[in-house]
Structure 1
Amino acid sequence: MRIIGVWLVLLSVPASACTLWGAAGDAVEGGGTLLAKNRDWRPDHAQSIRILTPKDGFRYVGLFADDGAEPGIKAGVNEQGLAVVSAAASSIPKKIRNAQTDARGVMSKILRQYGSVADVIVDAAILFQPARANFLMLADRHQILQVEIGLNGQYSLSTQSNGVLAHTNHYLSQELAHCNQLQGESSHLRLARVSSLLAVDKKWRLDNFAAISRDQHDGADNSLWRHGKEYTLASWQIALPEQGAPQLNLVLANPQQSELKAQWTLDAEFWRQNAAVLLP
């Protein structure tokens, strides 16, 4: 892969931020995996939690932006126990990202068609070479997969089956470092903070991840839970245990509405329900 020269600007990247983190194996109390996302965006649209039933493929529940500049799914988990969360590649200038002709919808495709991280890795080129620049973190009961999608069909994969992972809005892999044309201060501060919190030698649980999501160590604009130029509009935390049903915890902080909190056990009864909208 050819590395090209780039220009770097240190600034606060606008309205395209999220924080992703996870733990797997011995780092999780009882084993399995944990996966979390704080969704940060302009407080100018509504969100919902919905169950989708495709004509072909697996059912899945997702966090959706229902309107605004970037509607669509932002986090999800399917009935096979494969979860995926996303973060914007804000280190690529917006005019370049908006000019992409790459395919959208990779998250929905993964949730509809794949039951494990291993299966996604097998089809990585099919899934990620045509996709738009983005960051994904996936988990099943056994491992976490971190995906960095760059420009022109480039992508990078890393896995974790016995430890922790974290990502924000800039590229971490050496082969895609040339995509970091904008170096957002918030992205670097949030990555440093969540990484430092995860560095504690402990067995992680969902309630620990919920506490991380509320961290405000670095002020209104640069904390994990934000209320400055951008707001944290949702927090998604899921446990995928070695045995038993997944547990999904959700905080929905839609603008000008009371904060909603919910927990679901994703067992057979959950997937049999006919509901299309779970929240709000």
Structure 2
Amino acid sequence: MNRYLAVTLALLSVPASACTLWGAAGDVVAGSGTLLAKNRDWRPDHSQSVRLVTPKQGFRYIGLFADNGAEPGIKAGVNEQALAVVSAAASTLPKKIRNAQTDARGVMSKILRQYRSVEQVITDADALFKPARANFLLLADRQQILQVEIGLNGQYSLSVKRNGVLTHTNHYLSPELAYCNQLRGPSSHVRLSRIQSLLAMGEQPWHMTDFAQISRDQHDGADNSLWRHGKEHTLASWQIVLPAEGAPQLTVVLANPNQSEQQETWQLDSQFWRQKAALLSPSLP
């Protein structure tokens, strides 16, 4: 094997983007309800913000947005009906395949605008996910969490938990979509093993503060930890509790490049949703 080919294969073996998703539902959550979290990892070449969105039609929602860079748009959100969704890139598919997809974008915004519950999303799964681009989603309402793996050619898989935990990183877990794991790299597998281990070893029931502590874990070094500072950085952390009753609580950490880290917490009660559309956490100059 010549040197050029060896270097090319080595580059192809490393996924280009990453995130870690985890959630819990039922008896494993303090006070019941659900918890949902995401660490967003990407190249530190752009800024992010948190915005309150009022669409022309549909429910209001608060979202974590990448404001520029190679993949701008919403990365996590929760609507006024207490339905939350976070995403992770399908990095084990080659970029040329992902870029060549003619499938629909915007499935996260559509879910937040139009759906009240995980059950409604499951009912409309074909309409939502068959035309969608390859991606991973984790959703939560007050009763359950839902994991969605979107592959190629209209294929997708669903996993639901009413009592327990779900975790995901950036490679396909369902056997029927395993063919989409065309690129290899250690980070996704290391992070999945680590988040599963922390949730298995942790003391239940889970509190939001536990998920916040987990998000900061640096057990596996700069490139493979849950909180990363190597080739990619953890640029944001999103944790939300959706209690069986009462207002959800959302905490977001923004670690925008060349800026001071910001952390904010919101009680998503009726007063919160009555305010005007706003940039809730602007990037600092």
TM band (smaller chain): over 0.9
**Using the alignment, how far apart are the partners of 2:277 and 2:58 within structure 1?**
18
1:96, CA displacement in angstroms? 0.5
Listed as ranges, the matches of 1:8-27 within 5 Å are: 11-14=13-16, 16-27=17-28
The match for 1:216 among 210, 215, 218 is: 218
Question: Which letter does structure 1 place at the counterpart of 2:128?
Answer: L
1:274, CA displacement in angstroms? 1.2
Show the counterpart of 1:30: 31
1:243, CA displacement in angstroms? 0.7
**Using the alignment, how far apart are the partners of 1:87 and 1:26 within structure 2?**
26
CA deviations over 1:225-252 (Å, ceiling 9, x no partner): 0000000000000000001000001100
Question: Which letter does structure 1 place at the counterpart of 2:64?
Answer: L
Show the counterpart of 1:272: 274
Show the counterpart of 1:182: 183
1:275, CA displacement in angstroms? 4.1
**Using the alignment, how far apart are the partners of 2:14 and 2:164 within structure 1?**
30
SS class of match (2:187) = helix
Q: Is the 8 A contact 1:245 1:265 kept in 2?
A: yes
* 230-239 or 196-205: bigger deviation: 196-205
Q: Is the 8 A contact 1:33 1:240 kept in 2?
A: yes
Q: Is the 8 A contact 2:14 2:183 kept in 1?
A: no
**Using the alignment, how far apart are the partners of 1:98 and 1:28 within structure 2?**
39
Show the counterpart of 1:3: none
**Using the alignment, how far apart are the partners of 2:259 and 2:30 within structure 1?**
34
Listed as ranges, the matches of 1:62-101 within 5 Å are: 62-101=63-102
Show the counterpart of 1:202: 204
List 4+ stretches of structure 1 deviating above 2 A.
8-12
Q: Structure 1: 5+ residue runs without aligned partners?
A: 1-7
Show the counterpart of 2:4: none
Q: Is the 8 A contact 1:170 1:183 kept in 2?
A: no
Question: Structure 1 vs Structure 2: percent identity of aligned residues?
Answer: 76
* Higher helix residue share: 2
**Using the alignment, how far apart are the partners of 1:235 and 1:12 within structure 2?**
23
Q: TM-score, normalised by structure 1?
A: 0.95
Q: Is the 8 A contact 2:251 2:264 kept in 1?
A: yes
SS class of match (1:199) = helix
**Using the alignment, how far apart are the partners of 2:275 and 2:44 within structure 1?**
31
Match status 1:159 vs 2:160: yes
1:202, CA displacement in angstroms? 1.3
Show the counterpart of 1:149: 150
**Using the alignment, how far apart are the partners of 2:260 and 2:60 within structure 1?**
29
Question: Which letter does structure 1 place at the counterpart of 2:118?
Answer: V
CA-atom RMSD in angstroms: 1.2
Question: Which letter does structure 2 place at the counterpart of 1:49?
Answer: V
Q: TM-score, normalised by structure 2?
A: 0.94
**Using the alignment, how far apart are the partners of 1:135 and 1:265 within structure 2?**
27
Q: Structure 2: 5+ residue runs without aligned partners?
A: 1-8
1:184, CA displacement in angstroms? 2.0
1:269, CA displacement in angstroms? 0.3
CA deviations over 1:104-153 (Å, ceiling 9, x no partner): 00000000000000000000000000000000000000000000000000
Question: Which letter does structure 2 place at the counterpart of 1:168?
Answer: T
Show the counterpart of 1:107: 108
**Using the alignment, how far apart are the partners of 1:219 and 1:162 within structure 2?**
32
Show the counterpart of 1:5: none
Listed as ranges, the matches of 1:188-267 within 5 Å are: 188-200=189-201, 201-267=203-269
**Using the alignment, how far apart are the partners of 1:248 and 1:217 within structure 2?**
25
Q: Is the 8 A contact 1:117 1:138 kept in 2?
A: yes
